[in-house]
Amino acid sequence: MNDRAKIDETYDMAAVKADISRLSQQVADAMNTIGSMAKGQARRGLRQARANVDDLVSEASDRAGAVADAAQGVAVSIEDTLSDAILDRPIASIGLAVGLGFLIGVTWRR
């Protein structure tokens, strides 16, 4: 091999090393960009999930409040009905209470 061939070979090797170095840097930059994009998407997904959970909790709370209001309304209605029945027929109410007490006592003994 002559000196000119050695110089060309050395130049070619240096060019290949430089190309590999540039390619490595491009791959690293691409990976950093992909990582940043993935992190951003994950954050957006987390924010959306939190918003969905907050909406569900709020909706469940509203429904629970509506159920509690309905139950309270029914309890007041039953109380009013029983109060009216006791005031209209006090002797029958006492007899019914004694009878229910007796049935509960007999059932409990068994």
Taking only the tens place, the pLDDT of each residue in 44-65 is: 988 998 898 988 999 999 899 9
- Residue range 56-76: average pLDDT? 91
State how far the Cα of 6 lies from the Cα of 2, in Å rounded to an integer: 6
**Whole-angstrom distance, CA of residue 12 vs CA of residue 30:** 27
Cα within 13 Å of Cα(39), Cβ side:
6
pTM for the full predicted model: 0.46
Q: 81, exposed or middle or buried, with CB in 10 Å at 0-12, 13-18, 19+?
A: exposed
Higher per-residue pLDDT: 4 or 97: 97
Domain count, the chain: 1
Question: Which 8-state DSSP code applies to residue 2?
Answer: -
Report the pLDDT value the prediction gives residue 45, as an integer from 0 to 100.
Answer: 87
Supply the range of the domain harboring residue 78: 3-109
